[in-house]
Amino acid sequence: MRVVLGVGGGIAAYKAALLLRLFTEGGASVRVVPTEAALRFVGEPTWAALSGQAVATDVWSDVHEVPHVRIGREADLVVVAPATADLLGRAAHGLADDLLTNVLLTARCPVLLAPAMHTEMWQHPAVVANTALLRERGVHVLEPDSGRLTGADTGPGRLPEPERIHAAAMALLAGDGGGAAVVPPVRDLEGRHVVVSAGGTREPLDPVRFLGNASSGRQGAALAVRALARGARVTYVRAHTEVPDPAGAHVVPVSTALQMRDAVLTAARAGGGADAVVMAAAVADFRPAAPAETKIKKSGGSDDDGARLDLQLVRNPDVLAGLVAERRSGGLPASTVLVGFAARRATRPAPSSSTAASRRSARAPTCWWSTRSVVAGPSGTADNNRRHHRR
Ligand SMILES: Cc1cc2nc3c(=O)[nH]c(=O)nc-3n(C[C@H](O)[C@H](O)[C@H](O)COP(=O)(O)O)c2cc1C
């Protein structure tokens, strides 16, 4: 998912850095487009370091790449936070006097603006009219929060918390844009404990080698970020991932399938039982029966190309099945929601076998939800499409 994060020149510009993290932790690629005024509040190095991308600031840099058109066109979502009174006015009237307003004119994806300004400015008839005009045109303009403003004054005009902006953005992407103008803080998981597993396990062959898989961990991270944004307490049992750990989650690092099983079961049982366990990790089905204690040597010299190394693998426990058994035996509350993922190849072998597999899984009432991740290619690292099957 490609997100353009526009930042306006308001005192709340620093909060956009937290918003940026929520997007990147969810696996999004974020291009930050600060206005000239925004750069007086938070500098370019901060945006570049946090986004891991060059920061586009004006229409005159990298002209051969036509950034004033390309950045908007390529975006899946444009979010502006904080959106200043000035930006609302320029966007409402179709001005294109800097890179961000060019992006707003060329984007054909959902656009979410999070205004922040003093109450007098927010309530001025010009700003009220500009906001109404933008909303009429389908731009999603969040209501600012009410609270402490720049000085000692309080009132409506405060930038909504990054979690709320992020939740509104996610709702927009999920096609739930109708209410974005007045999105209330979606904290419906407040008081809930959600365990999320993520990443790919590694099964040691010897002290320096392992059998692994190409899981990036993006799906688990995105689920954890979403649960956190909705107010849940999240235990994030993480094997090897390519994405940062979600801020605010209790992180339990693991490496092997056995460690994953133990950590997930411990987290799920804690405090009387988790409300939900989401098994998004790619857990190895097999592990070497007897990992070597020292590095396995290459036997012989250059002329033994065809030499074989026979590995014996043993089956790893099925973590999801273990959770189901635990719930059945009363170790977890009957209300604990269990969610599993199964990877399947993008090209189905034959419709009949797939149907048979679905029927088989429908007969096995193991977990409440199972979702199939489509493995895009041999490596399987592409972002996954999901199909959901209620069980
Ligand atoms: C300290 C300070 C804080 C400001 N805070 C805000 C603000 O929260 N909201 C706003 O609309 N303008 C604010 N402004 C005014 C904007 O920076 C000014 O209108 C600027 O032209 C906005 O440029 P931009 O819309 O291109 O980012 C502030 C200015 C200063 C000096």
Burial class (CB in 10 A: 0-12, 13-18, 19+), 160: buried
Q: What is the pLDDT of residue 363?
A: 36
Q: Is the CB of 8 under 6 A from ligand 1?
A: yes
Q: For residue 229, give both structure tokens.
A: 């944004």
Q: What is the pLDDT of residue 150?
A: 72
Rounded to the nearest angstrom, the distance between the alpha carbon of 85 and the centre of ligand 1 is: 8
Instruction: Give the count of alpha carbons within 13 A of 258, CB side only.
Output: 9
Rounded to the nearest angstrom, the distance between the alpha carbon of 203 and the centre of ligand 1 is: 54
Rounded to the nearest angstrom, the distance between the alpha carbon of 10 and the centre of ligand 1 is: 4
For the chain, the distance separating the N- and C-terminal CA atoms, rounded to the nearest angstrom, is 29
Q: What is the pLDDT of residue 122?
A: 94
> What residue's CA is closest to ligand 1, atom 11?
84
Q: Is the CB of 116 under 6 A from ligand 1?
A: yes
Q: Is the CB of 32 under 6 A from ligand 1?
A: no
**CATH topology for the 2-182 domain:** Rossmann fold (3.40.50)
Say how far apart CA 252 and CA 258 lie, in whole Å. 14
Task: Specify the CATH architecture of the domain 193-292+312-390.
Answer: 3-Layer(aba) Sandwich (3.40)
- For the cut 50, the answer to whether the pLDDT of residue 374 exceeds it is no
Counting ligand 1 atoms within 8 A of each CB, the residue from 33, 86, 149 with the most, and so the one to mutate, is 86
Rounded to the nearest angstrom, the distance between the alpha carbon of 87 and the centre of ligand 1 is: 9
- For the cut 50, the answer to whether the pLDDT of residue 389 exceeds it is no
Q: Is the CB of 84 under 6 A from ligand 1?
A: yes
**Do the domains 193-292+312-390 and 2-182 match in fold?**
yes
Distance of CA 258 to CAs 57, 85, 166, 203, 374, Å? 48, 55, 35, 9, 25
Beta 29-34 vs 193-198: how paired, if at all? unpaired
The tens digit of pLDDT for each residue in 329-353 reads: 999 999 999 999 876 655 544 443 3
Domain ranges of the chain: 2-182, 193-292+312-390
Q: What is the pLDDT of residue 369?
A: 53
pTM exceeding the 0.75 threshold for the entire prediction: no
Mean pLDDT of the chain: 84
Contact yes or no for 285/213 (Cβ under 8 A)? no
Query: Hey, which residues are catalytic here?
Result: 213
- For the cut 50, the answer to whether the pLDDT of residue 185 exceeds it is no
Q: What percent of the chain has pLDDT over 70?
A: 82
- For the cut 80, the answer to whether the pLDDT of residue 80 exceeds it is yes
